[in-house]
Amino acid sequence: MKLDVVAFGAHPDDIELSVGGTLAKLAERGYRTGVVDMARGELGTRGNVRVRSTEAQASAKVLGLQVRDNLKLPDGQIFDNQAARLKVIRVLRKYRPDLVLTHYWDDKHPDHVHGSQIVTEACYLSGLAKIQTGQERFRPKKVLYFMLPPYVLPSFVVDISGHFEKKMKALGCFHSQLHNPRSKEPGTYLSVPEFLPALESQHRYYGTLIQSKYGEAFYCKESISVDDPVLLLTRKS
């Protein structure tokens, strides 16, 4: 199956937290989108593998994804090695996405850091014919990064004002991770009542950069070729 966009997140819910609105918007516009979670979240303080898998599939329906896969790399031990790269290469050659989304490489969570490195390297290596997986070689056109540190100015911001509610509905599928006053599981920074308002504030901030209500930010390492700057910079979202 050919996909237009594939987003790689280290753990189930990373994609919803960062680019769920963009994926919902693209799916609504007819693009074929997919998410690949790299680990199952077995080290997570709350929930378990079975619960988080069910939550991820429920979220996929909300976002209109064509595909939601999991590479089943060990949680907390996502390391940049050939075995991990090959898993990503097989996914890239299977779905052949034009755009790949993944974590920004500077992050306090080592799984995010190494996941970013693996995906970035695999996007290049997937184009080498002598790396044999039984599939045709393929290289995505661009790699875009999400979960930007505060000091990084985005390359661009996607207006998700019309899709913020759907993003939050998708994130809300991860009941095990979010605030629940009846839960007896240990607390995390996601499970406190202040988390979702803080997340909304972050998206409001990115929205202010483009004079919209809500935005999701992306960074691209390469210059972006523009054929028609008037169309690009004056068309409505």
Indicate whether 237 pLDDT > 90. no
Q: Token digits for 110?
A: 């080592």
90-132 residue pLDDT tens: 999 999 999 999 999 999 999 999 999 999 999 999 999 999 9
pTM, 2 dp: 0.95
What percent of the chain has pLDDT above 90? Answer: 89
Would you say 144 and 125 are in contact if contact means Cβ atoms under 8 Å apart? no
* 86 CB-contact burial (10 Å; exposed 0-12 / middle 13-18 / buried 19+): middle
Quote the radius of gyration of the chain (alpha carbons, Å).
17
Would you say 88 and 102 are in contact if contact means Cβ atoms under 8 Å apart? no
The vertex-5 CA angle with 174 and 57, nearest 5°, equals: 25
pLDDT at residue 233, as a whole number: 84
What percent of the chain has pLDDT above 70? Answer: 100
pLDDT-wise least confident of 26-30, 156-160, 223-227: 223-227
For the chain, what is the mean pLDDT? 96
Which domains are delineated in the chain?
5-234 (3.40.50.10320)
